[in-house]
Amino acid sequence: MTDPSPEFRVAREDLHRFMQAALGAAGADQASAEAVTRALVTASRMGTDSHGLRLLPHYLQALKGGRINGAPNMRFQQRLAATGFLDADDGLGHLAGYTAMEHAMEMAAEVGIGAVAVGNSSHFGAAGCYALAAAERGYLGMAFCNSDPFVLLHEGAKPFHGTNPIAFAAPVAGEAPYLLDMATSAVPWNRVQQYGAIGRELPDQVAADANGQVSRVPSEVAALLPLGGSAFGFKGAALGGMVEILSSMLSGMQHGFKLLPMGGPDMATPRGVGHFFLAMNPDAFVDEGTFARGLAEYLADLRAQPAAEGAEVLAPGDREWRCQSERDTEGIPLDSANQLAYAEIAKQYQIAPLTQLC
């Protein structure tokens, strides 16, 4: 492809087919390929473009370089009735995430709550995918992950924490789940890369240059600001630290400041990323149906609140489910950079290219 289309959309089934084929050709076993595809397509359907289809080339590169084990032997050890540890064997973080959440839900079904720390893992995409997996089965779900340093400490000049996401999802009777998925930085690092690829200026108070000064130019960015920006970044920095403790200390992994960079250049050495997952059965806390009625009432009251002129009050997840409905109908968009990247993958792995929806 030499001339990207300004409006290129693909069906999720075609994107699923392409990703599965590419990952398999790059050395991922079926379970790993299915997990990555599930997570990336889920993120892209919901409009989380920074953690969706654009990440496929990176995972293929990491598989090719040997950083990631495409056919891991993941081992789970249940420590107590509601706790366990999953050794991900340097496999793809998506398989580790879904596997760990399955174990957490199994324990929650037995004793009301389940928590799993994961070690020897890798980047797992959007944290919300794993919290969502719990909510879709009737559980409250939480997911956390550390990453290599991209984010300044409050009033710091050099990166220390990763973007260290927090995800939470809750089942809503008769509706799509309540879903929160947020970085503890002002924006995720992938957002900077995404804006740079399409030549777009960043918002104010989200990123900084090599001197720790706020910058809106993606090519100048050397670090992200913690959530809250220059004035209130102590909040985001503290939340990033909380995620670090859950992800790396509970899993026995090194903290994010010592991790190898996600972007390389070393694509041969495993990074040892840590995650943490929690599943809770709401009926283990209150009588059956009490939680569902209370959440429905809360959301009804929330959405009924007056909004600023020209705006609308939304609950976490509302925007994502609207986007998902639209993209399931109209297709998932690929910007010009991803069109070129996917055309190159098709050529490299001899895969039938994506088909543009009419």
Sheet containing strand 140-145, strands side by side: 75-80, 83-87, 113-121, 273-280, 140-145, 166-170, 178-182
Tell me the torsion sign for CA atoms 87, 253, 226, 49: negative
Q: Note the pLDDT of residue 257.
A: 95
DSSP3 helix / strand / coil % (the chain, rounded to 5):
45, 20, 40
Q: Helix, strand, or coil here: 178?
A: strand
Sheet containing strand 159-161, strands side by side: 159-161, 151-152, 223-224, 207-208
Q: Note the pLDDT of residue 198.
A: 84
Kindly report whether the global pTM for this prediction surpasses the value 0.85.
yes
**Pairing label, strands 166-170, 113-121:** unpaired
Q: Note the pLDDT of residue 3.
A: 75
pLDDT profile of the chain (358 residues), mean per 10: 82 98 98 98 95 96 98 98 98 98 98 98 97 98 96 94 96 97 90 86 94 93 94 96 98 96 95 98 97 98 96 97 98 94 97 92
Tell me the torsion sign for CA atoms 332, 187, 260, 235: negative
